[in-house]
Amino acid sequence: MSKETSDLIIAGGKLIDPGSGLNKIADIYIKGKRISKIETKKLIDLKKVKIAEDEKIINASGKIVATGLIDMHTHLREPGREDEETIYTGSQAAVAGGFTCICCMPNTDPPIDDQESVNFVYERARKALCKVFCIGAATKGLKGQELTEMADLKDAGAVAVTDDGRPIFNSRIMRHCLEYSKMLNLPVISHCEDLDLSSGGVMHEGYVSTLLGLPGIPSLAEEIMVSRDIKLAEFTSGRVHIAHVSTKGSVEIIRAAKKKGINVSCEATPHHFSLTDELIKTFNTNARVNPPLRAQKDVDEIKKGLRDGTIDCIATDHAPHSIEEKDVEFNAAPPGLVGLETALGLVVTELINKNVLSWEEAIAKMTINPARILNLNLGKIEKESPADITIIDPRISWTVDISKLKSKSKNSPFEGRKLTGKAWMTIVDGKIVHRL
């Protein structure tokens, strides 16, 4: 196949694709919405091609070419809080951050807990710059009492169920949720929080909360529920995925469960591997998040869990909040931070450049691993697969400037942080949707 029969060629980049096992310089040919060829032998001589005259060829030498990044944990706020984010503005932030696929959480207003609301999300997502998959509520109204019509949700395209933002606190309902969703082959994403133990808390319970006199959320509040959910998953043979693991104890519990062969997966967020509760000493409300930023020992263990494979995925938990809502005293601020546009830079700076993860491992945790957990037919570069590609500049240094974020909300605690690595180009279904 020659370049005449393709619409776009990504030439000379280092293809790192854990999904297909490729890790070498390659030219990727795209025809329409799909990849038509991966050439690793007869490479285009970029010195001979006049790029300016041939817009079809993208010179990706010095760049890393990956299959499009997938964020399996995104809050898009539509419907209900379109002042904070919409499915469209969230997709703008996503592609700027290198994501070609995001999975939106159902804790909107009203929640995504029936077929009609899932249809609404997909209807709005048609205009989005990236792929959007909908995660449905596990219980009606996210109340933790009655199961949603999960078969209906799945028919409409929901890829998982969750009450994220809240736990399913009643253990009997969680048991039935795992049993029922298993029948439908839908994973359950669990927000692990014992609401009695976390009650009133606004930050991690530790030395910093002692100093500040702010009510603490003990690590235990998460770990008890992680243990419970693993027990329930073992008993039901259900499919549980633990969202936003934040404590050392949780990592240890999940590691032991995996060793025992229990079917559990989990994710960690960039803020939980790159920030600690020390940041709250200035009462910075953008550092208020749930689960809270923990202590250094927790950050260290999350990195260890990422490295040894205990933690399967890196997910943003992108949670937009308006300036007004965050411009208040610390206790009054809602938890959550925006993460789509800083995630990749934090992965490169904090994990890859500090030898916690190799490029293959990091990319796997942002592509093929979440795709497998959610049964998405995405996450690898091969002939005929969708042309979703993220080209990463691994060396570019940049400083986070929240005023430049594409997200409608600017609640990032990373303002002013110097990062290395950024999405240089994002391609969705063969179309360039972002370029630096």
Partner 1 sequence: MPVTKLKSKDLLGLEGMSKQEIDFILDTAVSFKEILERPIRKVPTLRGVTVVNLFYEPSTRTRISFELAEKRLSADLVSFSANTSSVQKGETLKDTVKNIEAMKIDMVVIRHSASGAPHFVASCLDSSVVNAGDGAHEHPTQALLDLFTLREKYKDLKGLRILIVGDILHSRVARSNIWGFFAMGAEVAVCGPSTLMPYEMEKMGVEVFFDLDKALEGRDVVMVLRIQLERQQGGLLPSLREYANLFGITRERLKRLNKNFTIMHPGPINRGVEITPEVADGPYSVILDQVTNGVAVRMAILYLLSGGEEKVE
Least spacing, CB of residue 200 vs partner 1, in Å: 9
Nearest CA among 232, 246, 170, 242 for reference residue 201: 246
Binding-site string for partner 1 from residue 192 to residue 211, where x marks contact by CB under 8 A and - marks none: -------------xxx-xxx
Active site residue 194: no
Query: Which position among 214, 254, 302, 351 is part of the footprint of partner 1 (CB under 8 A)?
Result: 214
Least spacing, CB of residue 281 vs partner 1, in Å: 10
Q: Is 68 in the site for partner 1 (CB under 8 A)?
A: no
Nearest CA among 353, 318, 274 for reference residue 96: 318
Contact between residue 359 and residue 421 where contact means Cβ atoms under 8 Å apart: no
Per the residue annotation, which of 163, 317, 388, 393 is the catalytic one?
317
Judged by CB, which is closer to partner 1: 191, or 321?
321
Cα–Cα distance, 221 to 200 (Å, whole number): 12
Query: Which position among 143, 330, 353, 396 is part of the footprint of partner 1 (CB under 8 A)?
Result: 330
Query: Which position among 329, 355, 384, 403 is part of the footprint of partner 1 (CB under 8 A)?
Result: 329
Least spacing, CB of residue 332 vs partner 1, in Å: 7
What Å distances lie between residue 113 and 8, 78, 339, CA to CA? 40, 14, 25
Whether omega for the bond prior to residue 291 falls within 30 degrees of 0, making it cis, is: yes
Q: Is 328 in the site for partner 1 (CB under 8 A)?
A: yes
Residue ranges in 271-290 that form contacts with partner 1 under rule CB under 8 A:
282-283
- CA torsion angle for 62, 68, 73, 77 (degrees, to 10)? 100
Judged by CB, which is closer to partner 1: 158, or 221?
221
* Beta pairing, strands 431-435 & 216-217: unpaired
Single out the segment in contact with partner 1 by CB under 8 A; choices: 2-10, 255-263, 324-332, 336-344. 324-332
Q: Is 4 in the site for partner 1 (CB under 8 A)?
A: no
What Å distances lie between residue 223 and 74, 218, 219, 293, 307, CA to CA? 23, 9, 6, 15, 20
Q: Is 216 in the site for partner 1 (CB under 8 A)?
A: yes
Helix or strand or coil: residue 66?
Answer: strand
Least spacing, CB of residue 172 vs partner 1, in Å: 24
Query: Which position among 40, 61, 237, 331 is part of the footprint of partner 1 (CB under 8 A)?
Result: 331
Judged by CB, which is closer to partner 1: 217, or 242?
217
What Å distances lie between residue 236 and 179, 222, 310, CA to CA? 6, 21, 21
Single out the segment in contact with partner 1 by CB under 8 A; choices: 117-125, 253-261, 322-330, 391-399. 322-330
Q: Residue 420: is it exposed, middle or buried by C-beta count within 10 angstroms (0-12/13-18/19+)?
A: middle
Q: Is 324 in the site for partner 1 (CB under 8 A)?
A: yes
Q: Is 411 in the site for partner 1 (CB under 8 A)?
A: no
List of E strands, 32-130: 34-39, 57-59, 64-67, 69-74, 99-104
How many chain residues interact with partner 1 (CB under 8 A)?
A: 19
Residue ranges in 98-117 that form contacts with partner 1 under rule CB under 8 A:
none
Joined tokens for residue 69: 């990044």
Helix or strand or coil: residue 292?
Answer: coil
Catalytic residues: 317
Q: Contact positions toward partner 1, by CB under 8 A?
A: 205-207, 209-214, 216, 282-283, 324, 327-332
